[in-house]
Chain A
Amino acid sequence: MKVGIVYAGVGGQGVLTASSIVGKAALKSGLNVVMSEVHGMAQRGGVVVTEMKIGDARSPLLGMGEADIIVGFEPVEAYRILRKAHEDSWVVVNTEPIIPTTVSLGAGKYPSVDELIAKMHGLKVIAIEATELARKAGNTITTNIVMLGALSTVPTFPIDKEILKEAIKESISPKYHALNMTAFELGEKAAKEKIEE
């Protein structure tokens, strides 16, 4: 078994935290896991991508077509990384954009989110309003946990939901457990509704 997952978003969205939690959950599940992350300059409001392989693999990076699941914390960043997907990949995507300063400064245009999602045709797309759901849960800082809730519903995701929740709890101060569990469940519920559609 080998499952490739790419997590893409913007610095500050908790991409690293979320992907590390999945890694810990994989270890708890007795699965091998290797993950590569971005630190330093690239993190400052720029694109953050972590790549992960769960199962029989050693490479810390994924080749083209090796991502079975793409977790896009931001719509443009999800689209940018689609070249790592293959024809049967799942895409979990947050529909709330973070407009880069380049756009405000007139260097580039932010495309319509509906159009972006429509252009992901052929892929199995779960588009949810993760930031809005995090707001509902109580704090936009939990957007990453909403995304994990949604990820847990993807049929090819190899980790049990309860183990993933345990890994979240182990990674977050008990003070915030309730908040994050709410966020997780909101993400899970929204994704399930999308899959049923």
Chain B
Amino acid sequence: MKYDFILENAPGKKYFLLGNEAVVRGALEAGLDFASTYPGTPSSEIGNTLHKIAKKAGIYFEFSTNEKVAMEVSAAAAASGLRSLVFFKHVGLNVAADAFMTTAYIGTNGGLVILTADDPSMHSSQNEQDNRHYAMISGMPMLEPANAQEMKDFVKEAFEISERLKIPVLVRTTTRVNHVRGIVEFGELKNKRGKGYFEKAPEKYVPVPANARKMHRELLKKIELARKEASNSPLNRIELHGGDIGIITSGVAYNYIADFVEEYNIKANILKLGFTHPFPAELVERFLKTVDTVIIVEELEPYLERETRALAQMKNIHVKIYGKMDGFFPRAYEYSPDVIKDALSKILNLDIKSKNYAPEEIELPSRPPVLCPGCPHRATYYAAMMALKQLKIKDAIITTDIGCYTLGIQPPYRMADYLLCMGSSIGAAVGFAKATNQKVIGFVGDSTFFHASIPGLIDAYHNKANLVYVVLDNRTTAMTGHQPHPGLPVDGLGDEAPYVDIEKIVRGIGIEFVKTVDPYDVKETIKVFKEAITHEGIAVIIAKRECALIWDARRRKQGTWWVYEINQEKCTQCGLCSDYLACPAIFKKDGKVYINDALCDGCGVCATICPFKAIEKVEK
């Protein structure tokens, strides 16, 4: 199997690994027993890798219903003495925050590592919050790896720190360490513990106020112990290059700095921090005393910078500090070699000649991400659009949710007017339904339905909201790479599992208008949308059809492939397929409409809507 090498006890062997794969290896080298997650970019490949190897490795692994559940599941396993890993994207930690905060109070027996995958520049996210703040508000120690090798090594070390201090450790990663590939040298695998045993001790594990007060004092003691560890940790190091300029940096920013200092032969000493919370004050104090200028380079929020400025003030150290609080470095978006070059050129008065090629400016068409060819959501959006058109409703409010289908925001569908977070499409729909007289349609995916939508749906029913709620059930967690969810008959270990029927849940709440449609049956889907939109009260449509990528992969494997092409003699260029369905495989050239055979996946939705029967199937 493709991932078996991760389980190999081959110290010294080198692989070209994705940062997220290296996380799994690091956990295995720490003797991982237990893991849980909810998928989210840029953390998803950690779960995908565990999904493939956990059973063989004898590890318990689950795709939890949401991040909060994942946090609770792993916290209990760690309380039972097992080494446990819980991971999610940055906003996933918001969902898990309630459990997360108290886990810091309760502490842990087995090592408990919580990995957050932040997304500076928001490649796949709704915000770029800096989750280093979560270490500050919880008190947990935090590590920030800078490359694929460190992803492995730091995760391994995080388990040791956690078990030593009896506190969970936060590993803060960002897209450019999660999704970076680099050479990773393996270490030795450690034996697992298997099953744990929970020693009952309510005074330690039940934070009723009397216990919680003691726990907080305990936590503060642990933070001070961790602060001492941080200052002496091998994860923090100084690279000497001579001179009296110092640079303090952490995470991926270190790489740009290290390359820059080398390339332009800058005399600057680098303090590379890997153990960043509690702030290693003693170490930074020693470093500040060796330089007269210090430049702080970190993506997003000025966490290291604030701590450094406060420390310099408190210790009365006179050193010129540059960072983002004085405007030299940006506070938004991820860094790059160019960001570093610009800022350091300004601070150090460097005159760096550019050798860039300057391409002639020409207008290029934009290429935003779109729903894939064959995507069942496209057919559903087309049906919703046509139903609204036929009913002459122009101002329907479309609440959307987090998943591939958020791409319905693109023209021609424009099926997205409001979005907050996972599961918000139903809560927000209730709000709009109550606050306005407009028609409200909420869209949600199957995995997101289970994740955080059921309380909202109960709210909608109980409070008699008048709205349409559409579950786009494509039988997978598609956007993050096709992980299973509770609606599927398979679990995180790859074993058979009982599945939850969405229609039964909706009916179980008490909702009466519930219809399941196949979106490829466009005519029927339009009809059901019209019924739902004109229905008084809450109407739920379940648009059920598996993700096209899964369907495509299966047919490629079987060797059964076909595409569609346009019979130019019958085509009248009416534009229904190209302008309203707008599949990326369909394109116009010199006034005619064509289908790109390399992109077409043979779904045939365009053929079913063509009024002139001009789209024909071609076997390949």
Contact = CB atoms under 8 A, between A and B. Distances in A.
B598 interface: yes
Interface stretch (A116-124, A152-160, A178-186, A187-195): A116-124
Contacts of B182: 33-35, 60
Contacts of A122: 357
B124 A37 contact: no
B252 interface: yes
Contact of A104 (B15, B341, B587): B587
Contact of B479 (A26, A40, A58, A131): A40
- Max chain B CB contacts within 10 Å: which of A10, A63, A66, A98? A63
A109 interface: yes
Residue among A32, A34, A61 facing the most chain B CB atoms (10 A cut-off): A61
Contacts of A64: 338, 354, 356
A40 B42 CA distance: 8
B22 to A, nearest CB: 13
A82 B42 contact: no
Interface in A63-77: 63-66, 76-77
Contacts of B368: 46, 100, 102
Given A42-B369, A57-B259, A64-B338, A80 B364 contact: yes
Main secondary structure of the interface of B (DSSP, over half): loop
Nearest to B119: A40
Nearest to A120: B359
Contact of B365 (A44, A83, A89, A103): A103
Contacts of B341: 63
A40 B480 contact: yes
Contacts of A80: 364
Interface residues of A, number: 67
In the complex, which of the residues B42, B341, B367 has the most CB atoms of chain A within 10 Å of its own CB atom?
B367
Contacts, number: 203
B266 to A, nearest CB: 15
B200 interface: no
Contacts of A26: 16
Contacts of A111: 362-364
A46 B367 contact: yes
Contacts of A79: 359, 362, 364
Interface in A89-142: 89, 98-105, 107-111, 116, 119-120, 122-123, 131, 140-141
A40 B124 contact: yes
A32 B597 CA distance: 39
A17 interface: no
B366 A39 contact: no
B598 A60 contact: no
A34 B364 contact: no
B357 A27 contact: no
A46 B450 CA distance: 28
Interface string A1-41: 00000000011100000001001101100001111111111
Interface in B329-386: 336-338, 341, 354-360, 362-373
Contacts of A116: 362
A166 to B, nearest CB: 13
B217 interface: no
A89 B357 CA distance: 8
B365 A82 contact: no
A82 B358 CA distance: 8
Contact of B42 (A39, A44, A63): A39
Contacts of B14: 27
Interface in B369-424: 369-373, 404, 406-407, 410-412
Name the residue among B338, B479, B598, B599 with the largest chain A CB count within 10 angstroms: B598
Contact of A41 (B147, B356, B479, B584): B479
11 contacts: A35-B180, A36-B179, A37-B179, A39-B481, A45-B372, A46-B367, A65-B356, A83-B359, A105-B582, A107-B365, A140-B598
Given A39-B41, A104-B579, A105-B412, 15 more contacts: A35-B182, A40-B479, A41-B407, A41-B479, A43-B369, A46-B367, A60-B176, A63-B337, A64-B338, A83-B356, A99-B589, A102-B368, A103-B365, A103-B587, A122-B357
